[in-house]
Amino acid sequence: MKISARNQIAGTVLSVTKGATTSHVKLKLTGGETITASITNEAVDELGLKEGMKATAIVKASDVMIGVG
């Protein structure tokens, strides 16, 4: 499926930390940065997310802020 979100950045799963309903998934981006996603445990299970897997960080443009200085 091709999606409208402007930001789709390739990476590798560094870690998956499951909470009661919400998981934190850290990806290492190809460029070396780390990005953290907060998604449902259900999604983690459905996607079978595990350390070392190839994955894409997806962010809508309207959810990105800019900082300077």
Residues that bind a copy of itself (CB under 8 A): 1-10, 17-25, 27, 29-33, 35-40, 42-44, 46-49, 53-69
Provide the minimum distance between the beta carbon of 20 and a copy of itself in the complex, in angstroms, as a whole number: 3
- Which helix (H) or strand (E) covers residue 47, if one does? helix 41-47
What is the distance between the alpha carbons of residues 51 and 12, in angstroms, rounded to a whole number?
8
Closest approach, Cβ 51 to a copy of itself, in A, equals: 13
Non-local CB neighbours of 47 within 8 Å, separated by 6+ positions = 55
Q: Which is nearer to a copy of itself, 33 or 51 (CB)?
A: 33
